Amino acid sequence: MKVAFITGITGQDGYYLAKLLLEKDYLVHGTVRRSSLINTFRIDTLISEYGDNQLKLHYSDLLDSASLNNLISEIMPDEIYNLAAQSHVSVSFKNPVYTTQVGTLGSIAILEAIRHHKKDIKFYQASSSEMYGGVNKEMLNEESPFDPKSPYAASKVFAHNMTSIYRESYGMFCVNGILFNHESPMRGETFVTRKITRAVGRIKLGIQSKLTLGNLEASRDWGFSGDYVEGMWRMLQHNKPDDFVLATSKSITVKEFAKLAFENQGLNYEDYVTTSERYFRPNEVDFLLGDYSKAKSDLGWEPKTDINKLVDMMVEEDLLLAKREKVLIDEGLLMPTWENPL
């Protein structure tokens, strides 16, 4: 049985990756940050299904290098997937120190632990399309230059470069997955796609009146997280370590995403969507479009879920959540905390 170690297992990608690896009969270890609130809700179904025999959680933090070192020494995994990060770009402008520390120190701590304990551990670093900056409307690949426009993107460039340095300097199996935007019903509710689909469900059920967004013209290459974690896994099964872009090679604007989401429920987004300067970034990335041809040729990977299917999946799940919320509101058991409630 192969052993995998996932940082950030409680996030969107952590859930889909853990699910994939468990289905492939891996023993999966993951890190959970200590908190006064239980924060494993995304993976609770996996915990129930697989139990402690195949899915093991450990309290740790990317800023605690000693803890990471001890865990890796104890587990001695075959594969490590570093997914943990403060991954909200807008938040990175408000919390640049924490964002940078988590994005840089954590990756170095893991790389050093691998170097000292077991060099043949395979390591996956979660890079991001935000590293490119999106200055020009061109298709971006593994050779395209980086031009980060946020503290989050800058921290990702650092971790990306350090991963390459350790691969080249010490002969370690280290890969960078440069993933373009990938969404799902497990996406955090402060991310724009999920903010839109949550609002659609609530507006349809009559418990929200308006949705406020930022730059509607920002264009992104949006895919499905469940497809992308398979690409991560394939990178570590490849015969040599390398860097790969995962994308759909199609880009649409936030406005177009909102239009599709509202149309799913027979609504016109223009009747409900407003914009506010407070949701604009200090340094906007206007356009991102990825070229996944290398992943297709070398890994046999390509996206399976198009944008229409992705939007439908997210809206349908969030409509179910809105129905549950409405029942609780009608019974006087829930006070709405979202914007513009009815």
Question: CA torsion 231→60→40→258, rounded to 10°?
Answer: -50
Looking at residue 244, its pLDDT comes to: 98
Mark whether 152 is an active-site residue.
yes
Residue type, 68: L
pLDDT digits 0-9 by tens, 215-259: 999 999 999 999 999 999 999 999 999 999 999 999 999 999 999
Residue with the bigger pLDDT between 89 and 291: it is 291
Average pLDDT over residues 299-304: 98
pLDDT digits 0-9 by tens, 37-53: 557 889 999 999 998 88
Residues, the chain: 342
Neighbours of 130 (CB within 10 A): 26
What are the C-alpha distances in Å from 157 to residues 69, 129, 249?
A: 23, 10, 22
Tokens of 330: 């009608």
Looking at residue 281, its pLDDT comes to: 81
Which CATH superfamily does the domain covering 192-219+250-287+306-330 fall into? UDP-galactose 4-epimerase, domain 1 (3.90.25.10)
Domain ranges within the chain, ordered by starting residue: 3-183+221-246, 192-219+250-287+306-330
Average pLDDT over residues 297-320: 98
Question: CA torsion 30→31→34→36, rounded to 10°?
Answer: -40
Looking at residue 206, its pLDDT comes to: 96
pLDDT digits 0-9 by tens, 132-178: 997 788 999 999 999 999 999 999 999 999 999 999 999 999 999 99
Which CATH superfamily does the domain covering 3-183+221-246 fall into? NAD(P)-binding Rossmann-like Domain (3.40.50.720)
Backbone angles phi, psi at 129, to 5 degrees: -65, -20
Q: Which residue in 257, 241, 338, 255 sits closest to 299, CA to CA?
A: 241
Q: Which one of the listed residues 15, 60, 130, 150 is annotated catalytic? A: 130
Looking at residue 153, its pLDDT comes to: 94
Answer whether 3-183+221-246 and 192-219+250-287+306-330 agree in fold.
no
Please, what is the average pLDDT of the chain? 94
Q: Which one of the listed residues 128, 129, 150, 184 is annotated catalytic? A: 128
Cα torsion angle, 48, 236, 225, 276, sign: positive
This prediction's pTM: 0.95
Q: Does the structure show a pLDDT above 70 at 262?
A: yes
Q: Does the structure show a pLDDT above 60 at 304?
A: yes
**% residues pLDDT > 90 (the chain):** 80
Q: Does the structure show a pLDDT above 70 at 36?
A: no
Looking at residue 35, its pLDDT comes to: 59
Tokens of 238: 């490849």
Range from 79-83, 131-135, 187-191, 212-216 carrying the lowest mean pLDDT: 131-135
Tokens of 37: 């609130």
Range from 15-24, 101-110, 191-200, 298-307 carrying the lowest mean pLDDT: 101-110
Looking at residue 339, its pLDDT comes to: 85
Task: Assign 3-class secondary structure to the chain.
Answer: CCEEEEECCCCHHHHHHHHHHHHCCCEEEEEECCCCCCCCHHHHHHHHHHHHHHEEEEECCCCCHHHHHHHHHHHCCCEEEECCCCCCHHHHHHCHHHHHHHHHHHHHHHHHHHHHHCCCCEEEEEEEHHHHCCCCCCCECCCCCCCCCCHHHHHHHHHHHHHHHHHHHHCCCEEEEEECCEECCCCCCCCHHHHHHHHHHHHHCCCECCEEECCCCCEECCEEHHHHHHHHHHHHHCCCCCEEEECCCCCEEHHHHHHHHHHCCCCCHHHCEEECHHHCCCCCCCECCECCHHHHHHHCCCCCCCHHHHHHHHHHHHHHHHHHHHHHHHCCCCCCCCCCEC
Mark whether 130 is an active-site residue.
yes
User: At a CB cut-off of 8 Å and minimum separation 6, what does 321 contact?
Assistant: 198, 201
Residue listed under structure tokens 């439908």? 312
Q: Which one of the listed residues 15, 124, 132, 152 is annotated catalytic? A: 152
Question: CA torsion 232→238→243→249, rounded to 10°?
Answer: -60
Looking at residue 168, its pLDDT comes to: 97
Mark whether 132 is an active-site residue.
no
